[in-house]
Amino acid sequence: MWLLPVPDQLEVLILGALATLVTGSLSGRALSRYSSSVISTAAFAASFYITLVQFLNGYSTTFGPEEGIPGSVIVIDQFSNFLSLVVLAIFVFSSIYSAGYIGERHTEYFSLLLVLAIGMLGVFYAGDAISFFIYWEVMSLGSYLLVAFNYREWEAVEASLKYLIMSSTGSAALLFGISLLYGLSGDLTFAGMRGVLASEAVSRETWSVAAFAFVIGGLAVNAAVAPFHFWLPDAHPAAPSPVSALLSGVVIKTGVYGMLRFLLNVFPLEQYGWQLGLLMLGLVTMSVGNLMAALQDDIKRLLAFSSIANIGYIVFGLSLGNQLGLVGSILHVLNHAVAKALLFLSAGSFIHTFHTRSLDELSGAGKSLPVTGITYTIGALSLAGLPGLNAFVSEYIIIAGALASPFWPFAVVMVLNVLIGAMYHLRVIQTIFLKPPQVANPRTAREPGFSMLLPMVLLAVAAVVIGIYPSPFLAAAEAALRALPLVR
């Protein structure tokens, strides 16, 4: 019998999903809108609180079936709790924002948000490969259905189909790689696999190398690492803006998490020598993302390509293998999540008001919606690397890690990429504030409702606070890193 233990955080989300479905089905359309948003937001907030208490107390445990009984293994440590905190915080903000943004099928929408969160947290806490894959599929299914939420629009249908094909391909590669790992090690737990794969003889086997390629390649599809990024620029713009904030802010980070877990916990660097290859993937990903973003006129496609570039920064930092690079990458997971969620929610406010994603048509929009314009500017300047805002801190640490590593010449490539990113983010700021208004009736435009403004303002404040006072967040990233076996 297969046993599936569930952490408290996941229990809250599962109960929230069930409660959302029940109350939404029994209540009328008007009431379901509020009941669904309140229940889902409360579930995300309660799960966040449980995780925060565990993280602050340094709670760490492993539980599962007794020895000899097949079953799921759950591992709770500082690293999984850190990423869960980042994810749940963005879900709270997106859920509040969605209450004012989503105009139909509220029960379906908020239930899918909870399903997506359940899958992501399950991936973080999985201590064996089968549980990891099951939760991975739950997450992928939730993502697909949310991308296809506006299914009456052809763009959403096309984007969701592309996402389904790419995601299924990645999942198939991941499952095949896991099956090879099980054949080599006879164990499905990450700890058991590492014990066997650390052997020099096993690591040189053809099937061992194939398992490495399939697992990392499958995870790279979700992370939108070049050249597996083609689905993202279509999927993220087609989804509702709060979903785009989740997809770009946290969902693609799940692929990075999986890569990090497998690379550090299953495939030892000493035997597999993956460092240089991962570094090249990071450099190519950041360059492709930034160069393509600079060519976009669609504000959401620009932000989507920017997310690819920032995944490149994170992968580059991980590949350095030193303390600075790893801490910088883990901190950038938080900083990029905050800034990119802020940008997508602010962009969603513009789109919600003016019904266009074209930058040319959004000229002067910041004058009509000053609060939205300011929050967007804070997020854009953060990812542009402006000192005093959050993303500057983690980008600086990653570059410092590169300079302290044997790969120091490649720090120049990241610096150039940050400058390219600053160029297109400043171009958007110039467009929405300095160019003459092109939107219809700019003087009659009004800021969105309180439920949409509140998350934007809070995320903007978070970007400033982390930028000015990064010490607690840097300490949290270091605590998360200590839960992982370090590489050189």
Query: pLDDT tens, 138-183?
Result: 998 888 888 888 777 777 788 888 888 888 888 999 999 999 888 8
Summary mean pLDDT of the chain? 86
Q: pLDDT class for 105, splitting at 50, 70, 90?
A: confident
On the 0-12 / 13-18 / 19+ scale of CB atoms within 10 A, 480 is buried
Residue-level pLDDT at 438: 66
Average pLDDT over residues 117-137: 90
- Asked if residue 486 has pLDDT above 70, the reply is no
Mean pLDDT of 98-114: 85
CB 405 within 8 A of CB 320: yes
Burial class of residue 462 in the structure, from the number of CB atoms within 10 Å of its CB (0-12 exposed, 13-18 middle, 19+ buried): buried
Asked if the structure places residue 395 within a domain, the reply is yes
- How many domains in the chain? 1
167, part of any domain: no
348: which 2 tokens?
């969603």
The pLDDT of residue 1 is 35
415 lies in some domain: yes
Tokens representing residue 371 in the block? 């609060």
How far is CA 400 from each of CA 220, 325, 412, 471, rounded to the nearest angstrom? 25, 8, 11, 17
Whether 29 is covered by a domain: the verdict is: no
> H or E segment at 62?
strand 61-63
Can you give the residue range of the structural domain that contains 477?
289-488
CB of 309 closer than 8 Å to CB of 282: no
Three-state secondary structure call for residue 350: helix
Q: Assess if residue 75 is contained within a domain.
A: no
The residue among 436 and 338 whose pLDDT is bigger is 338
CA distance 247 to 307: 10
> What's the rounded Cα separation, in Å, for the pair 261 and 3?
23
The confidence band for 394, taking pLDDT boundaries of 50, 70 and 90, is very high
Residue in 484, 480, 485 with CA at minimum distance from that of residue 81? 480
pLDDT class of 389 with cuts at 50, 70, 90: very high
Which own/partner contact pairs does 368-374 have at CB distance under 8 Å and 24+ positions apart? 368/437, 368/439, 368/442, 368/443, 368/445, 369/445, 369/446, 369/447, 369/448, 370/447, 371/447, 371/453, 371/456, 371/457, 372/346, 372/447, 372/448, 372/453, 372/456, 373/346, 373/432, 373/433, 374/460
Task: Report if residue 487 sits inside a domain.
Answer: yes
Whether 487 shows a pLDDT value over 50: the answer reads: no
269-287 average pLDDT score:
86
Average pLDDT over residues 103-121: 88
For residue 36, the model assigns a pLDDT of 83
439, pLDDT greater than 60 = no
* 455 lies in some domain: yes
DSSP letter (8 states) at residue 437:
P
Size of the chain, expressed as the number of residues it contains: 488
Q: Which of 173-187, 417-431, 435-449, 473-487 has the highest mean pLDDT?
A: 417-431
Confidence (pLDDT) at 20: 86
Whether residue 27 lies inside any domain: the answer is no
